[in-house]
Chains A and B, each alone.
Chain A
């Protein structure tokens, strides 16, 4: 799992206000967000962000509104200029790009999906899907086949000649995704792409995204305020609070070992059985001495295992990957993993 780092953010600061450089000094000396606003009248957008995003992974940036997540994603294609710091994509310093290079980056190496879809209302679905190609100077006939293919792939066959306002929200966002796919860019930025959709459609879209990712292996940066969504999609999860990274890493890890009371709070409402997977709670190794009740995949979630065990906590399962044993799982360990983190720390303190 040592994939190349595609996007690297180093010591990124963003301060909004009339004189951000002065305010930056205060922030570097440790002034917090509330004081900065009160004393200096500057808004701290991001403080010392360091994130590496790997090629072919979905990096989810999660935070509540005002945490700076939308600001952060806009730094990647420089829709917002940072106050200080470094952004490297494919090991090139994006901040040193000229206007022409930046435009080339936005046209060919990055695509973006927006919360409010942001389709062109006066263009047909087909023309919207091919927008990125049209910007590069292709004519409709050049990209039509491509656009039709991706529209069909996201389930919009037959809607090509309609206008965006004739489609439902979910369908409009499918056009948004098709638009990003037609651009053939290796990096996809998704800014709260599914937040405006109702829960059922949102779940459909998440499945669609995972399905597409399975075959395309794009580098996806996904912004969300919804923890369930984050846990479902993330290969790498970054949790932001007040413009700072609170914790980042494998979402399973964060769930099992939250590093901050803020995150403990956050994950207390989560259905752990559905989110946690076998691989993160199993005992690794090829120990075969035990009496296994059956085989399970390392990618199964605990809910599935619970179902198979029928609630019997004495059982143990063999965990297999591609037919080979990689570990074992006792139902007792599984039950322990399901204890909410807050309760677990309390009981530990009592002992």
Chain B
């Protein structure tokens, strides 16, 4: 006798309820109650449980328990998994190639080529000797404490993922800026991607792809890091001075000319701010993604946690901080250069 018995009997559903009686698995609580000899006293209103799935199941065995919800979800996912991966697998295969290629290239090019090359890129985008010296010092420090390979793996993954984020995110942002309907549709998705704990979307990915494939963590990083570049591209294009747009129209620009000659250049400071955020978020995610076999400094952090190796964890953590500072300073400096050339 449970609290909601009367509810089902008044609805005349007793027969339907008894049908489910045989196969429903028994909860631990019910089992204990049964062994105690069953207390059949009606409970007071004070103790009435919330009419949740489990409470209703007690009164009516045919009513599903809440664990059947999670189980159902899982089974549903497993059911579509094969057909889903049939489509997604070839579609995302290039990501594996990019990541493996970048990792291979980074690690198999001698350090005396990679480091000057990185510094040259830094100088090219920032035009600042000071920043270049700082980056050089940091990398040499990391290399000196034998973290060069790990740091380069992390960097390679970030480069590939951030590049793909920009490649996909900027067009999505532009499309959003042009259509209010699209914006209404995409914003909830972005909100969800941003608030969903990163560990959670590792789980379906593990089901879909093999853990040995690098695209597994690549997708996780891209999903997590693509949000700011989409948002800020959308915002940047929407914020472009209406007067300038009107002038572009008045002088007869085609929509394409307007996009490439006015909207994108004027939105560039915002887009670059999005790129900066995207790079920083890829760095955050590449550490978490070490849980699903992403190589790099995250692996050392994970080792520190698993084996309680304090020193390993601290040093690799510091390495991540150094990488973060480098990436942030370099992107901010190039952003400042863009801003300086077009303040109004």
Whether A120 sits at the interface, judged by CB under 8 Å, is yes
Interface size class of A (residues with CB under 8 A): 20 to 34
Whether B262 sits at the interface, judged by CB under 8 Å, is yes
Q: Which of A106, A107, A135, A165 contacts B344 (CB 8 A)?
A: A165
Q: Tell me which residues across on chain B come within 8 A of A117, comparing CB atoms.
A: 243
Whether A183 sits at the interface, judged by CB under 8 Å, is yes
- In the complex, what distance in Å separates the CA atom of A64 from the CA atom of B243? 20
Segment at the B interface, from A85-93, A108-116, A149-157, A207-215 = A108-116
* A75-114 interface code vs B (CB 8 A; 1 in, 0 out): 0010100000000000000000000000111111011101
Look across to chain B and name the residue whose beta carbon is closest to the beta carbon of A185: B251
* B310-344 interface code vs A (CB 8 A; 1 in, 0 out): 00000000000000000000000000000001111
- In the complex, what distance in Å separates the CA atom of A247 from the CA atom of B265? 45
Whether the Cβ atoms of B343 and A165 lie closer than 8 Å is yes
- Assuming the contacts A114-B246, A116-B243, asked whether A121 and B343 have C-beta atoms less than 8 A apart, the reply is yes
Whether B253 sits at the interface, judged by CB under 8 Å, is yes
Whether the Cβ atoms of A135 and B253 lie closer than 8 Å is yes
Whether the Cβ atoms of B246 and A104 lie closer than 8 Å is no
Q: Which of B246, B252, B342 contacts A103 (CB 8 A)?
A: B252
Q: Tell me which residues across on chain A come within 8 A of B268, comparing CB atoms.
A: 122
Whether A243 sits at the interface, judged by CB under 8 Å, is no
Q: Tell me which residues across on chain B come within 8 A of A164, comparing CB atoms.
A: 344
Whether the Cβ atoms of A118 and B244 lie closer than 8 Å is yes
- Tell me the chain B residues, 170-207 only, with Cβ under 8 Å from chain A: none
* B96-135 interface code vs A (CB 8 A; 1 in, 0 out): 0000000000000000000000000000000000000000
Whether the Cβ atoms of A132 and B251 lie closer than 8 Å is yes
- In the complex, what distance in Å separates the CA atom of A107 from the CA atom of B251? 5
- Tell me the chain B residues, 247-270 only, with Cβ under 8 Å from chain A: 247, 249-254, 257, 261-262, 265-266, 268
- In the complex, what distance in Å separates the CA atom of A114 from the CA atom of B262? 17
Q: Tell me which residues across on chain B come within 8 A of A281, comparing CB atoms.
A: none
Whether A16 sits at the interface, judged by CB under 8 Å, is no
Whether B74 sits at the interface, judged by CB under 8 Å, is no
Whether the Cβ atoms of A112 and B341 lie closer than 8 Å is no
- In the complex, what distance in Å separates the CA atom of A116 from the CA atom of B245? 12
Residues of A with Cβ closer than 8 Å to B? 77, 79, 103-108, 110-112, 114-122, 131-132, 135-136, 163-165, 183, 189
Residues of B with Cβ closer than 8 Å to A? 241, 243-244, 246-247, 249-254, 257, 261-262, 265-266, 268, 341-344
